[in-house]
Every structure is written in structure tokens, then in C-alpha cells.
Amino acid sequence: MVEITGAGTTIASATAGRRVGRQGWLDALRAVAALVVVYEHALNPLFPELRGLTGPWFNAGMYGVMVFFLVSGYVVPASLERRGSVAEFWIGRLFRLYPLWTVAVAAAGVLAVTGVDPMHVWLTQRPVSAVVGHATMLQDLLNVPNVINVLWTLSYEMVFYFLVTALYVAGWQRRSAEIGFGFAAVALLAGGLLPSILLSHGATATLALTLGVTVLGAGGLAGVLSSHAVARRAGAAALALIALGLLAVNGRIPAWQSMSILATMFAGTALYRARSGEIGWRSGLLLSGFVPVAAVGAGIWHGQESPWPWVNAIVAAWATFAAGMLLADRAVPRFWAWLGVVSYSVYLIHPILLEVVDGLLPDPREVAWPYRVGLGVVVLAVLLGTAALTYRLVEAPAQRAGRRLSARLRERHGDARRG
């Protein structure tokens, strides 16, 4: 998960030095975030005692995903604008996300069939909503339980892609800082008033919403890919409507958290624009700096439980990203750069391995610490080895296929213009 999905930062041996010097800090941030998320999810099956010590004051998982969301905001809009093509952008995204996602979901299915980790009963009772909802990657905003717990973040990635595309088509892409400010203000001022899962109460409502969003989303993407200006604007409006509507009233998590996540992503974009000289540092820092302040305030004001796990996670994530930006011109050790490259594999595969561990240790407290630490080291080694394989056999070939398809698309358009 590398933004959570790593928009184009790959490190081949022949170009490692050049890429590390230019993008290594982003890979290092992804590496840190991935390991922290793995740590968070390893607590229950291996070290539940640690959750009692750290859980009341720090949410390590939220810290990790917020770092990922900042990286997504920093790189994803730039990827679209660098290509200058909505079609090529979506080809890149689809070939980046879905191949490994398919492998991970299939692995979760194997665990369910073998009884290691049975599926949520909801998923078996409502198969159409489950399959279609997951296929859109919007399941967490459609009230469809996630087949793999970490897939919820991809729903927020997807609505971010929808909004980035809509803004690009409308010509408003340079307003990232103001949009991030707006999401943060909504999170702070109205996030506690907006409902959750308003549109998905009951099986029938969930199915209708899932199918409706799928049809509208497909139409929206077809529209933005059209050569007709009216269709492009209508498609952009449809994508924006889906994203904003689901975020505002149908998230599984409270709206103040959903809005804080989108504010964080657009703030990452604003920091990219400031660093690249597209906007001034003063306005970029002023508007994006409001985002963590508002997210902290929203957690304190609207959170029903202790706000400190959320507050400290937000502060730590922003401090980590700021440190990364300050050290952006420093060389990054190859291991951390590599781990950032394979972090999408680490992110999707680690829950599968930890479910196996959970089956082996029904009550980890009954197992001595040294054995659990040793098992944790083995799991981490297996995870990194598996991530290396899935990157090499699934991710990298899929990305190359996406680039070849984009190249053919450019050639076809070039031929059409010359004709």
C-alpha cells in the first residue's frame, strides 16, 4: 500500500541510485507506515499485553494509514497531471491496485474455505452486495464488511481518485489547499452531526445502493473518458457526487474521521504543489497546516471515547511526513527504499499471515514471550519474502502491462491526430 498503492515509484537495480535520490524519502515513509500497520495487527494474535499498554494513548494503525494517505495526496494528483490523460491515469491505477488485490482476496477465500478464518456471515448471506461492493473497492463506504480488514483504506483511495479526476476534468486541480481546508472545516464543525451508513440500512437498501453506485460510477468514468465536453463534465459531476455523498452520510466510520482523511490527502497534494513551486509556501503551509489542527479538534470534540489514540496518531503522522520532507534530499538505505516499493504487498498480505498465526495461538498469553517473539520474527521474514515474490510475480508485471497499454493508447491518439 504505497501511497497506499505506490504511484510509480519503482526501484530497479540499474536506476536505484537515481530513484532513491529523488523519491527515496517517499519510499522510506511507506516502509515505516507499512511496518507500523503490521505491528498494530500483530498485537492481538501475538502480543495482546502491548495493546493494553499502548492502546489507550496511541493508535498505531491509524498513524500508519495516515502516513500512507499523506503520501497518496502527495503523489496521486501529480501522477494524473504528469500524464495529462485521464485514461492513462485510470489504466495505471487499475493495473496497480487490482492484480494484487485479486490475489489477496483469493487467499482470504482459501482461509475461509479451509476454516482457518471463516467469512463474515454477512458476506455469505448477501453475495451480490459483497462481490459488487468489493469489485468497486468502495465496500467500506457501502456498509459491506471487508473481506480483509485492511481493504477499508482502499475505499478512501478510490473516492480520492474520483475527486482528483473530477477536479482535473473541471480544471480545478490547483485548488488542493482550499479543498483540503474545506474538508477539514467540515470535519471540525459538522463532522459530529453527519450520519453514518444512512443509505445502507438493511439488505435491500445496501444492494440498491451498491448497484446504483456501480452503475453511476461506470457512467461517470465513461463520461470523463469521452471526447465530448458535456459528457466529460457530466462524468466528473457523477464521480464527485458518489465520493461526497458516500463520505458525508454513508461511511462505516464517523463522518468527522472520513472528512479528516480526505482533508489529509488533499493537504498532501498542497504540500506537493508548494514544494514544486506551483503555489507559495506561505499559503500552502497555512491552509494545509489547518488540516491536522482541525483533525485533532474533531477527534476531541466529536470522538465518543478517549481522543488521545486518534490525536497522537495524527500528530505523529504529520511529524513523520514533515521529517520526510525535510530529509528529502538525503540518501535512503536500500532496504528502506525496497520495503517502500513492496509495501502494497506487505499491506495486503500481512493480515493473511496473521490470521494463520491467530489460528495457531488461540490464547497467546499462554505462550512464553520468547516463543512469541521468535514466531513474530519468523512471520516478518515470511511476510517480506512473500512480498518480494508477489511484487516480482504480480505487481511489477501488471504495472508493465499497464504501461504498455498506455503507450499503445498514446500511439493511437497520436495517429488519430496526424490523420
Parse the chain into domains and list their residue ranges.
Answer: 13-418
Asked if 267 and 70 touch (Cβ cutoff 8 Å), the reply is: yes
Amino acid, single-letter form, for residue 241: L
Residue range 212-216: mean pLDDT, rounded: 98
pLDDT at 5: 54
Q: CB count, 10 Å around CB of 259?
A: 27
In tens, the pLDDT along 70-127 reads: 999 999 999 999 999 999 999 999 999 999 999 999 999 999 999 888 888 888 899 9
The CA-atom distances, in angstroms, between 314 and each of 107, 215, 347 are 32, 35, 20
The span from the CA of 163 to the CA of 401, in Å, is: 26
pLDDT at 159: 98
In tens, the pLDDT along 280-325 reads: 999 889 999 999 999 999 999 998 788 999 999 999 999 999 999 9
Q: Using the structure block, give the residue that is written with the C-alpha cell 497467546.
A: 364
Residue range 330-343: mean pLDDT, rounded: 95
- Grid cell locating 56: 489507550
The span from the CA of 373 to the CA of 357, in Å, is: 12
The span from the CA of 230 to the CA of 21, in Å, is: 43
Q: Using the structure block, give the residue that is written with the C-alpha cell 482502499.
A: 154
Burial class (CB in 10 A: 0-12, 13-18, 19+), 229: exposed
- Grid cell locating 260: 479528516
Asked if 160 and 262 touch (Cβ cutoff 8 Å), the reply is: yes
- What percentage of the chain carries pLDDT values higher than 70? 93
pTM score, two decimals? 0.93
DSSP track, 83-122: HT-HHHHHHHHHHHHHHHHHHHHHHHHHHHHTTSSPPPHH
Residue 14 has pLDDT above 60, yes or no: no
The CA-atom distances, in angstroms, between 33 and each of 149, 314, 355 are 16, 13, 20
- Rounded to 10 deg, the angle between the 203-224 and 127-136 helix axes is 30
- Spell out where 283-418 has E strands: none
Residue 415 has pLDDT above 80, yes or no: no
Backbone φ and ψ for 205, nearest 5 degrees, come out as -65, -40
In tens, the pLDDT along 35-44 reads: 999 999 999 9
Instruction: Band the pLDDT of 19: cuts 50, 70, 90.
Output: very low
- Classify the C-alpha dihedral 302-257-387-82 as positive or negative: negative
The span from the CA of 7 to the CA of 157, in Å, is: 12
- Grid cell locating 157: 483511495
Amino acid, single-letter form, for residue 194: L
**Among the ranges given (29-43, 44-58, 61-75), the one the predictor scored with the smallest mean pLDDT:** 44-58
Amino acid, single-letter form, for residue 121: V
Residue range 362-376: mean pLDDT, rounded: 94
Q: Using the structure block, give the residue that is written with the C-alpha cell 511496518.
A: 35
